[in-house]
Each structure stands twice: as structure tokens, then as C-alpha cells.
């Protein structure tokens, strides 16, 4: 009896935590199961690319797909986008409130049909344009949509 009450409390806590704090509880993603691959992709492109640039959205979408097919990241678009500390906080839960959502939807369709930004090439990383970091393994390949896209390479292989 005590065990079942404890399990009910844990289940209730999980429901409350996921409804208040996004889609993760104890490292387990709950909310992503409700989103389609397209919705996860368009949300990443919408929140990460300044919402107005199709080029920037395509570049972000290309990074998501590069990660998906790499094998070191989760094996679904929603898994890649929802991976902790990789994309904008709340990317899978915030509301999309402007016309950029229409463009993100169109661009997500294109990416899911195989479109890729040629300038991104194999890059799996990006950060806000204008920032610079003192690491010697960041090989920049493109600036688009307010972001700079880069590959991580061993020093001297540029």
C-alpha cells in the first residue's frame, strides 16, 4: 500500500513538473512525444534563426539533420532539438507568435524533403553571430540568420 502511494506521488510530481517546467523530468522527455518531427524542426528553425530569414532557417534545419544522421546525437528530430543545452531554452514549449511560423513551416517541409544549405556542409554547431571564442577547433563555414555555423575540427586540419 505504501509503495503504491509513493508511485502515485511520483507520477503526480512528474505531471506537475512537465506541465510547469517544459518537457523534461529527471532527464526523461515527456512533451516531445506530442510533437511531430516537422513541428520540432520548425520550432528549432523559428527560435534559432531570427524568424525572418529563409536562409537562416535552412541553415539551422541543416544542422539539425546533420546531427540526426551523425550517430552521436539522438535518433529523432525531436530528440536532437530537445537535447538539453543544445538549442534555445523552451524551444519545444514556447509559443510561436508571429508570421515567422509560416515560413518555418514551409522551410521545415523543404528540409524534411531533403533540402540542405550548401554553405553549412557538415557543420553541426552554431552560435549567435558576432561572438568569438578562443578555441582553436572551430572552423567557421557560414553566417546566416543571425548565427555563425561551424565545424569542430582538430587544430591544423583547416
Domain ranges of the chain: 1-34, 35-152
pLDDT tens-digit readout, 97-138? 888 999 999 999 999 999 999 999 999 999 999 998 888 899
Task: Identify which has the larger pLDDT, 51 or 105.
Answer: 105
pLDDT of residue 13: 42
- Helices 54-70 and 37-48 pack at an angle, to 10 degrees, of 130
| Mean pLDDT for the stretch of residues 86-94 | 94
- Backbone φ and ψ of 152, nearest 5°: -95, 120
Tell me the whole-structure pTM to 2 decimals.
Answer: 0.77
Task: Identify which has the larger pLDDT, 19 or 3.
Answer: 3
Amino acid at each position: 500500500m505504501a509503495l503504491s502511494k509513493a508511485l502515485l506521488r511520483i507520477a503526480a510530481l512528474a505531471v506537475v513538473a512537465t506541465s510547469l517546467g517544459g518537457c523534461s523530468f529527471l532527464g526523461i522527455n515527456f512533451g516531445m512525444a506530442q510533437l511531430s518531427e516537422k513541428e520540432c524542426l520548425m520550432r528549432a528553425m523559428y527560435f534559432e534563426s531570427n524568424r525572418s530569414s529563409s536562409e537562416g532557417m535552412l541553415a539551422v534545419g541543416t544542422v539539425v539533420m546533420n546531427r540526426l544522421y551523425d550517430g552521436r546525437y539522438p535518433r529523432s528530430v525531436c530528440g536532437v532539438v530537445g537535447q538539453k543545452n543544445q538549442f534555445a531554452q523552451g524551444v519545444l514549449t514556447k509559443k510561436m507568435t508571429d508570421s515567422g511560423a509560416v515560413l518555418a513551416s514551409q522551410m521545415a517541409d523543404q528540409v524534411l524533403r531533403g533540402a540542405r544549405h550548401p554553405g553549412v556542409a557538415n557543420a553541426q554547431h552554431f552560435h549567435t553571430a558576432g561572438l568569438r571564442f578562443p578555441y582553436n577547433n572551430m572552423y567557421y563555414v557560414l553566417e546566416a540568420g543571425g548565427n555563425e555555423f561551424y565545424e569542430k575540427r582538430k587544430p591544423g586540419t583547416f
